Each structure stands twice: as C-alpha cells, then as structure tokens.
Homo-oligomer: A and B are copies of this chain.
Amino acid sequence: MKALFFDVFGTLVDFRTGVAREAESILGSAGHKLDWGAFADAWRKEYQPALEEVRAGRTAFRKLDMLHRENLDRILPRFGVSKLAEDSARNLNLAWHRLPAWPDVPGGLARLKRRFLLAPLSNGNISLMVDLARRNNFPWDAILGAEIAGDYKPKPRVYLTACEAFDLPPAECMLVAAHTNDLVAAAKCGLRTAHVARPNEHGPGIGEAAPEGPVDVAAIDLEDLAAKLGA
C-alpha cells in the first residue's frame, strides 16, 4: 500500500461544532439568537440532496462552496434570518474553510506521512481543502477529490481519479473515512478501506462508533490507524 486518501468532513474535522460556533459568532453578533447546533445540522442536511443533483446530471458540476452557499440561502429563512448582509453571508459560507480538526488528526497524519502518500479525497473544493490544511497542519502531498474529478462521491470516477493522479492501482490505495457508505463505494472501485470511529460527528453519541459493514481496518482514531498500519 502506497497512498492513503481521506474523507474530510466528519472524518478529519468536526464540522458540526465548527459551523455552530461560526454561525453563533457571525449571526449572533448581528443580533440573531437560534439553536446553533440545529442550524449546523440543517445546513448539513441539505448537503447530500444538492450533491445528488450533480451526481445525477440534473445540474452541472459546481464547487462545493457554491452548493454550500445555495444551501445556506435556502435554510436561513427557516431560522428567521431574512436579511443577512452579503458580506456576512459570504463570511458565514467560509465557516467550512475554518473547521477544527479532531484532536488526534494532526499527530496521526504526521505519523502516517512518514510511510504513505497522503491526500484528501473529499467532496470539498481545492481552496476549501487548502484552507483547512493551513489551519490544522494537514501535511498533504496533493489535493485530490471532487474538484479534480468534476463529480461527487460516491461516484466511482472520484475515487479512481485520485488513484490515477498518483499513478497507482486502486489496490495500492486506501480510503480512510468515518462513513461506511463512502468506504463501501471505494471498495467497489478496488481501494482498500479503513474506518475511523467518530461517535460524536453529528452531536453527542450521534455518529459511527464502528463500521457498519466490512472494511480492511477499523480504527478508533488516526493514532490508532497509524499504529495498525505500522507507521
């Protein structure tokens, strides 16, 4: 095995806490009071339906930043936010660029980097991945994923484009993710798979504490994964 690819939202970064905190900072300072966790959940809930429009070919591929913005504009009225200044909306949309890593991630990636090529294989766009990497010290060799492939996971092309970029057969690549459905799709393309437990991804006790299907490796966190891969 030569390369590890990583899902990012939920697997490496805590989007629920991060988005809730940014929303509180930006909307709260504009006088809004709402359930910040519910707001983060609602925003994320629009994510898969928006991706599905692209995957199904009903709309053209656009960067995730654009889909996030469309989804934001859709949910704001539901929370009683009707006239948000364009600057604030743009800033809030960049909350996804400023998410915090789970505590084990920087140390785990540093260990894994000594032994493997590392790249995100996320639906997030390149600039979003770059900003998260700068903020959290993710030591990527390259930024791969949806923007390079022009489509969204779990479409096979997204996984295969990442392998091809590194000139590697899928069997020499492993996807690391906290979501079994992502791993199942990667395995169908021939990649190896590692599940990382994120039991609090969607709030306390709401997340995959263990894989919900067959995977090659199941790890508690990235330090555990590094140990299990001999890194």
A positions within 8 Å CB-CB of B: 65, 117, 125-127, 129-130, 133-134, 140-144, 147-148, 165-167
Tally of this chain's copies: 2
Decide if A142 touches B130 in the complex (CB within 8 Å).
yes
Distance in angstroms from A120 CB to nearest chain B CB is: 10
Distance in angstroms from A143 CB to nearest chain B CB is: 4
Whether A141 touches B148, Cβ cut-off 8 Å, given contacts A65-B167, A167-B65, is no
Nearest CB to that of A127 among chain B residues?
A: B167
Q: Which of A125, A130, A134, A140 has the most CB of B within 10 A?
A: A130
Closest 5 CB pairs of A and B: A142-B143, A126-B165, A127-B167, A130-B141, A127-B166
Q: How far is the CA of A125 from the CA of B147 in the complex (A)?
A: 16
Decide if B166 touches A142 in the complex (CB within 8 Å).
no
Q: Which residues of B contact A165 (CB under 8 A)?
A: 125-127, 147
Nearest CB to that of A134 among chain B residues?
A: B141
Whether A130 touches B117, Cβ cut-off 8 Å, given contacts A65-B167, A148-B148, A167-B65, is yes
